[in-house]
Structure 1
């Protein structure tokens, strides 16, 4: 199928006729910005085929705000080696006409021909839906739906299978499908869709498991009963033997022996602790006596040390007193230097004051002259400012009003030009004596006139001709001309000018006066920022300050000649600071020296007092008697200490040989053994009672009889289960064989489609495969080690795979002799640069077999597609020019 020409009229934004012709048999690239009408044209093609001409559910085709419109679509195309011409109108003028070569059809018959040709069906009521679109719904991709292909394939499935059957022959009969369905019905009675048992089969399997579980539980209880009988006999023998032997009594006897040995060791440890305490007391007394002895012996050594310290203190005092005269001289010299530096600072400050006053006088004198000059300039600028204000008042005019006036004049000129192009033109060429009268105006010789209003042409001797210019545009142009002329006159009257040029001249003069006014204000502000009065006040203030500075300079004393070498206050103050620092250092040194003298004298006096005190203590007779007493007492303590240490050592060996820690462990071991033996015997007695009670209860239940009954029930259930199981296995095997056979036939049916799909896929994803399922829908996608479904890919990849699949379906339909037309509305917008290049190769290849209409708002992305792009806006402009030309031709006629 090849679409050659499309025309729409009164359809959405296409109020006037819009024609797109000379469509190429291969690729056609149609571009335009958003809202330029691309999707409207796609909608028009869909409406021409899918919508019933008599439906009232296509209000979306109506132009906005035009309830009287009759959307009309005209299509010229080739199909089945014939020329087809379709005209379909909706809403206000419902009509459908179809011409195939020389045969014509209309209304419902025409629509059925279209549905039969392309393989779709009409909606029984209301607007058509995707489930009605069939093959075109698969090949005509709306904006934003390129990735959704499953439903489109499902809606076109019957047509695709019909095309495949026509290629490979009828490979499957309906009888085979009915047999598979019968087997599936029988199989589903026994299995769930996931292959799990259900119904009686599931119930028997559960009963079988329950019986087997009950038998296993009974067998376990019987086994447990026998084990308990054996355990009862063993426990009875152990209990009776232990009751006769009573092993815990021997352990109690050994426990008492261990406790007695441990009590004897505890007595030895108590005696050892008491004597150790006595030994510690003797050692403390001995240490105290030795300290007293050493203290008495150290008095002589201390006396020698105090004598040496006294001599050293006297030498240091004599050395400090010798430095006193030099320190006093340094302090006197620092004071003299400081007084001279202070005098120097005073003279420097006096000199600085006089210099500052002289500089102030020069500055104030210069400031006075500057203020006098600014005052003269300010008075001059005020005069210029007044002149500029007067010039602005004389030429004042509103700039926006002037702009509006110029715009009105421009519109009037354009409207005059337009009126000249569409007005009825009257030309005449008269004989020398002939004359005409047009609207009471005589016409002679040669000339022409543009007529916008009703006119009368009087021909002497013949009569009067009435001329009425035709066309709605001419009447509206005449009204606009009148409105613009009236508006231009009123605007000039408001501005008080006779012409637009005069208004522009006044505006130029007014703007120049305003610029001069602004410049003069800035000059005046530069010399008198706050006005002439303030400038005059500043001048008076400056004169006052100048006189005051001269008076202070006259009254200021001159510096002494001897101090004229001082240059500035900073140097003088730096010298005074240095002198003050040296004076402070000298005074600090003097204070430090006096402190040192006092410290040396105090140290000498303290040393002398301590030496005298030690001398008196050494020469005391009582000290000699005390020393002898200490020596005798120390000898007695050492003798007692020796005897006590020997006794302690002997007892320590006796305690160590007894091993008290081992005795404590023996006591603990015997006590635990007694408790364990008694507790074990008690537990045997309790377990004997529990087993006897349990055996009596189990014996009353008749466990073996219950097991035999359950075994019989299991055997009966097994027989019924095996019958159903053999039937289920037979049905499962039969269904598997039939399904495999059906799948083999389906693969044979899919082979032509898979061939075309592999052709396109190899251009986009080399070494990749895309399989189709039994319903001919693209499903499993494999690339290398990656395996997944097509709906798991990214949005851009799904969009690309969707387009590849549609082109493969188109190849299949073409191979089967079915008409194809591919329409792509803003598709592949989510593809990256590399993938888009590959998709261009695929589209170019497919265009060798199909006509493709590609609509886009990004023509720059398709510049290398190898086709000349067609601009919708340019086609609109061309249509408007043709319409205007036809209107002019009709008016002139």
Structure 2
């Protein structure tokens, strides 16, 4: 039987069609890694034959997750000059078609035709199992099942016996009772009723056993002697290789890896230094940007103050020009006043947040700037002493200043309130008439504001007592007096003549305090432990000073714009609300509100003028402008330094990553361990060679060969006599049990063809060995030549790899037997012989190549390098998918 073509579609891994053509009549080798579809292809061939096309057991053939798939297998093979074509589909649109030389079969008829040809059967229902697979189940080895032969052979036994011929028949037993009795009497001289030796036969067996034991011991000693001789030769060969000291090459490799690792360590240290320098640069730059932002805020505040001053001036002018429309002007002035008041409060709050702080502890890492830092630190110390002395001469209490501002606003509000509630006394006297108000004599016409009780003398009439506003006016007067007292007390406490001077002193103190904080922060960043410590560090850094200075001088300059902040808009709603409230009051008290608004506008103008002048003086201060210019230059320098440091860090990171320090450490460890292992092994071989040499010298002195020869002659004589008695006993046993002996003889005749094929293959693996089979035609015992006789080992007691080899040899022998009987054969091996060592595998390759001269063999493997010398074309599984 020759398989010609295999086509698989929608079957497990093979969703797309996969087709194999051009199969050889002998060996066909398919190779691919795990999960490449080898076992799937074998499963497809098995399903084509074993699974009924209607069976639900084919569910496992469906590709994962594809419920609409219809797995199909198409096969073409040749047998006895006819071409057989099989097409089978499962699960969806189930069918089975078979074409043989122009004859067509379908459905179960096609399946039974195949089963009859190949020698297997289908189950009554359900999935096909191992007991149904017959001859193909024996010849098609699944992955990991090569060592199992008894089960598959038992399932194929009826087909094998059919191939051997039905030669078993009843054998007539002898009826010669007299002969049996005579044979039993003769047998009793040599054997007991249970078949145990007795008499002379037992004694000769004992003597032969003793001689055999002594011979076996001598043979073991001689064999040990020979093994030690071989081992000594092998040790000498290995020691000759050790003379080249191969471990030293690995030590050199380890040293190279450690040197490279040390170089990478140097890069890491350089990276740490650059990182510290970058941190120092960023901290300095952050500090400078915060200082620059403070300057920018002052400039914006000055512009805001100028705008407020201009607005206040326009408001006062408008109010004075709009006297006839007092109500409307009061509303507008009040709204503007509140807006200005809120903006002023906002500006003062922003001014309070002008303090800056920076953490400069890591600035010590910038060793290249130590010399400049020392000079600057000393200069900062001088400025600090001067600023602290100036600050001590200024009395500043922010709480008192805040209270003074509140009292000033309260006085202005009380003045405005008093004017709005004061009694207006308008008079128009006749010519030559006068009246006296308090200490003042009035004539003509005019108007007076009465803020407190006063007496009016009218000559010729009498005296009038006027009490303006009732109790409200008196209360306002008392409140103003109390407020004025507290205001003057606070001025005295602050040592200022008026609010403007107190504000100027506070601003000066804040500026000095801010300068002190900045200088202290700068001094701390330059010299955390003091200028003397910085000088000491400068001396220690002398060797690096020139290189770092050149690097800093080479840095390109850079400019960075300072973004202007945007004022808060939260107070807009509050101003709108206050303006609406004042508008309502203005509608009720038009005249009073106009006067009050004018007074407030004038006060606001004076305040705005004072604030603008104070900020104008501070911003235009030459020392301040010089500081701003120096700060801009410093920021540009730091920007260039940051760019260069980042580039250097990126380069070092790239070099370190490319060097793979973790792999270098592993290489150093691996080469070191390899060198130690090789050296220890060489030392072990040297010591073993000494021990083996000593042992050989001791064994050689005993004359083992001579002892063995003398004992062998004695044992040979005993053995001849034993053989004579054994042959007689065996002959008597044979005569006594003719029927059983006849049956055994017939069984041996039946076993002979299989034994012949087994021994044919076995000689290629173990010369002069044989593989005995039992009555069930199964390999039972492996007989190999050994010192002093033969070794008998049960097949089931062999190692896993040896049982796998015997299993394959048995299957090939069955295949030869079937071929001689005119039955088709196809051998499929899925990852077989994976447990065979190199020497055994070479023998098995000879066996497979020999079997391939008579049978078609499909061999699937994930180790193509082990089979390349098999003389077969290697078909890569991936090439099938590509096709």
Measured against the shorter chain, the TM-score band is 0.3 to 0.5
More helix by share: 1
Q: Which is higher, the Rg of structure 1 or of structure 2?
A: 1
